[in-house]
A and B are shown apart, each in its own frame.
Chain A
């Protein structure tokens, strides 16, 4: 894989990803994620739903030629809190990407959802839709996994093992998304529990992460 794409997948990319837990913080608050096995279970479900949808949108944005992707992202994100978080992360990523990979396509891009920005940046950086899908699917679980270390004080080595065990599923999810987009269909897998967690989190008085 191209080094530019590794930079994009890196959690050290200054795009504000560390401020979001992908619904993990409210799941911890609700007591459904407590330890490594419940974290693995949460990430598996998140990958198959929100991860698949993000991977599809990123692949479509990378392939280009499909206007209205932000409306498609909106229609796949019923939770207002999640739409807000996705737009905020899109804005932060666009800012970092414009600095790192100056390109007219990034200057033209207005306020967009995170996967749409990600796919566009991957295209500008010379990547393929399948690679855009892979970075999106990977980010869908690595962000919440880092949040779990901070929130639950889990052993980072144990969390890394959880992620390593998920690697095959991450690849499969990215492949499913890219294949679906090639066939002209954007995935729309929903996660009702994540939707509810996102809204409960927005109401919460005390929180470490924005989402």
Chain B
């Protein structure tokens, strides 16, 4: 079974200064849960599978602070029916607001044909931490086709346009070489280093706009995460920031969910997926 799913999360700053999640809409395999000050993608069922068309919209209102994470790595698989799978994440971060988007890695399984799209609109004065990690196949496996496009604007100007194509050219020493995992962390809007830094498999790259792209290649996902964490610290420490900004806890009260679209109770929810 294939899904066209539209999930959404929205957060605003409440009068008491805390962030309140005002919208949490799960749909099909995109199930969202609020827990411990973050919204988690819990993934009802396997996937994405070939033919899936998934969209997640994130809206962070002025001065609000939202973290979106995932409970586990996602395994991107071919479907029973031909055709690519697609996951689009569109986020708007308003002035003074902060979004942390840190899902677990996506594993591109053999035979997959996947397009990941992320479109992020940052208003002037917004801050962002956006992590993406791709694992090229399960153990001992060559990945299918996986294209990840990342488009970010800041204050209406292009900040980053970045498309990683895991295809027949990706094993070139100019692209990914022998790496089995590739990842980036985009830090934007904070006080960040303007000095580039490079080490084996790790680059800390100040962009032309107010942002730093931490980029890493590694032989496995553990080393990839280590490098990205080290690069992120490097980008902040070099700018004199001792403690990275943390998201304040969101209040669990007053969360309104769209009728009929609550995770697990949607008619086409996770149950029918296996």
Contact across chains for A195 and B161 when beta carbons are under 8 A apart: no
- Residues on B with C-beta less than 8 A from A75 are 152, 158-161, 207-209
The interface size bin for chain A is 35 or more
Q: Is A49 an interface residue, CB under 8 A from the partner?
A: yes
Q: Is B157 an interface residue, CB under 8 A from the partner?
A: yes
Q: A188-B149, A188-B162, A190-B163 known; A78 and B173 CB under 8 Å?
A: no
Contact across chains for B174 and A199 when beta carbons are under 8 A apart: no
Q: Beta-carbon contacts of B19-42 to A below 8 Å, as 1s and 0s?
A: 000000000000000000000000
Interface window among A12-20, A58-66, A79-87, A99-107: A79-87
- Residues on A with C-beta less than 8 A from B179 are 193
Cα(A195)–Cα(B207), bound, Å: 12
Q: Give A129-173 interface residues, CB cut-off 8 Å to B.
A: none
Q: Is B95 an interface residue, CB under 8 A from the partner?
A: no
Q: A75-B158, A196-B203 known; A189 and B173 CB under 8 Å?
A: no
Q: Beta-carbon contacts of B56-86 to A below 8 Å, as 1s and 0s?
A: 0000000000000000000000000000000
Q: Is A175 an interface residue, CB under 8 A from the partner?
A: no
Cα(A32)–Cα(B176), bound, Å: 12
Cα(A44)–Cα(B173), bound, Å: 9
- Secondary structure dominating the interface of B: strand
Cα(A72)–Cα(B217), bound, Å: 25
- Residues on A with C-beta less than 8 A from B172 are 41-42, 44-46, 48, 193
Contact across chains for A72 and B158 when beta carbons are under 8 A apart: yes
Extra A-B contacts (9), CB below 8 Å, given A49-B165, A192-B164, A196-B201: A45-B173, A49-B175, A77-B208, A78-B160, A80-B196, A190-B162, A192-B176, A193-B217, A195-B205
Q: Which 10 A-B pairs have the closest CB atoms?
A: A45-B172, A45-B174, A199-B198, A74-B208, A75-B158, A188-B161, A32-B173, A48-B169, A45-B175, A46-B174
Pick 18 A–B contacts, CB within 8 A, sort by A: A27-B173, A33-B173, A38-B173, A41-B171, A43-B174, A49-B165, A49-B174, A72-B158, A76-B162, A78-B215, A80-B206, A83-B208, A188-B151, A189-B163, A196-B201, A196-B202, A199-B197, A199-B205
Residues of A within 8 A of B (CB): 23, 27, 32-33, 38, 41-46, 48-50, 68, 71-72, 74-81, 83, 186-196, 199-200, 202-203
